[in-house]
Amino acid sequence: MAGLKGKDILHGNQFSRKDIDGMIQIASDMEKELKKKDSLTLLKGKILATLFFEPSTRTRLSFETAMQRLGGGVISMASAEGSSAAKGETVGDTAKTVSQYADVIVIRHPRIGSAKEAADAASVPVINAGDGAGQHPTQALLDTYTIRKELGSLKNLTVSMVGDLKNGRTVHAFVELLSLYQARLYFVSPGNLRMPEEITSNLKQKGIWIEETEDLEKAASESALIYVTRIQKERFADLTEYERVKGSYVIDSKFLQRLKKKITILHPLPRVDEISLDVDSYPGAAYFRQVRNGVFVRMALLAMVMGRR
């Protein structure tokens, strides 16, 4: 796939159907390879730098795992507080500096647009692992791969996106990818956490069917998949506002019984209280399988960006 060679990965809208279908194929090959051996040599000698200015468990560890499984090496900052950002260095200067060490950079930062700034300054490909309430394109890729594995196909799905659609960067990126497959979308959120108008109108212009609602049960009963997200506490200027909306939607086994049909449940994680623990054993609860898929997808993406696939 020459398509992504040398490219920055910044936004869910940058991919074509061909890119995604190619990535799914390569991720699936990676998954098969890892069943045969512990690691590959595809990126031997290459170095990935992870720059995380915001907390992360899955994204950072799965990128680091992916690079090491490909035979490459990883360098990373211990924390934002432990880096020169604490002395006032700009994201651009940090990215320029790290370009002197690494062959590819993965960055997470609390400000929208920061990954683009890093990419503009860097001389190596930059991958956006979350820019504030903006975008999280690699999560969207692994979500897409997970649907393909769980449901067999991506075409003409009805999906309910649930939770903090205003601040959730995973949903902002994921809907872009779903729109390539003509998904029908329910946006289920409290009134003050609706999907940004710009994203919704953009999708509608592309001919995507969207219904915004606060009624989770109705939306879920008409969906094959629900994508549940956490209320993004750290994005609230006013914490009393957070207290008012937290716990708005909770998926528990009683809810699933009322649905009277099997549904697939994804969540980018971490969860707070929006999926209760008794759901974990439900056959359609795919969120920990989704975590594992992150490694294969990030392997595929790194190989593609480095021009090795």
Q: Is 58 a catalytic residue?
A: yes
Enter the tokens of residue 159.
Answer: 């999906």
Sequence-ordered list of residues with C-beta below 8 angstroms from that of 9, at least 6 positions apart, any chain: 125, 126, 127, 128, 137, 138, 301, 305
Q: Is 59 a catalytic residue?
A: yes
Whichever of 116 and 169 has its CB closer to ligand NCD, that residue is: 169
Least separation in angstroms between residue 254's CB and ligand NCD is 24
Buried-exposed string 169-178: b where 16+ CB fall within 10 A, e elsewhere: bbbbbbbbbb
Least separation in angstroms between residue 155's CB and ligand NCD is 25
Cβ 153 vs Cβ 146: under 8 Å: no
Q: Is 108 a catalytic residue?
A: yes
**Residue in the block written with tokens 């990954």:** 115
Least separation in angstroms between residue 36's CB and ligand NCD is 28
Helix (H) or strand (E) holding 21: helix 17-36
Q: What angle do CA 150, 277, 157 make, to 5 degrees?
A: 25
Q: Kindly report the length of the chain.
A: 309
Whichever of 6 and 55 has its CB closer to ligand NCD, that residue is: 55
Taking alpha carbons only, the member of 85, 144, 87 closest to residue 110 is 85
Whichever of 85 and 133 has its CB closer to ligand NCD, that residue is: 133
Taking alpha carbons only, the member of 231, 145, 148 closest to residue 192 is 231
Cβ 255 vs Cβ 276: under 8 Å: no
Whichever of 231 and 256 has its CB closer to ligand NCD, that residue is: 231
Of 136, 148, 172, 267, which is the active-site residue? 136
Least separation in angstroms between residue 290's CB and ligand NCD is 9
Least separation in angstroms between residue 269's CB and ligand NCD is 5
Q: Is 230 a catalytic residue?
A: no
Taking alpha carbons only, the member of 229, 282, 275, 224 closest to residue 257 is 282
Of 87, 155, 240, 260, which is the active-site residue? 87
Whichever of 11 and 230 has its CB closer to ligand NCD, that residue is: 230
The CA distance from 93 to 102, in Å, is: 14
Least separation in angstroms between residue 251's CB and ligand NCD is 15
Enter the tokens of residue 205.
Answer: 């212009």
Residues of this chain that bind ligand NCD (CB under 6 A): 58-59, 130, 136, 139, 169-170, 229-230, 268-269
Q: Is 308 a catalytic residue?
A: no
List, by residue number, the catalytic residues.
Answer: 58-59, 87, 108, 136
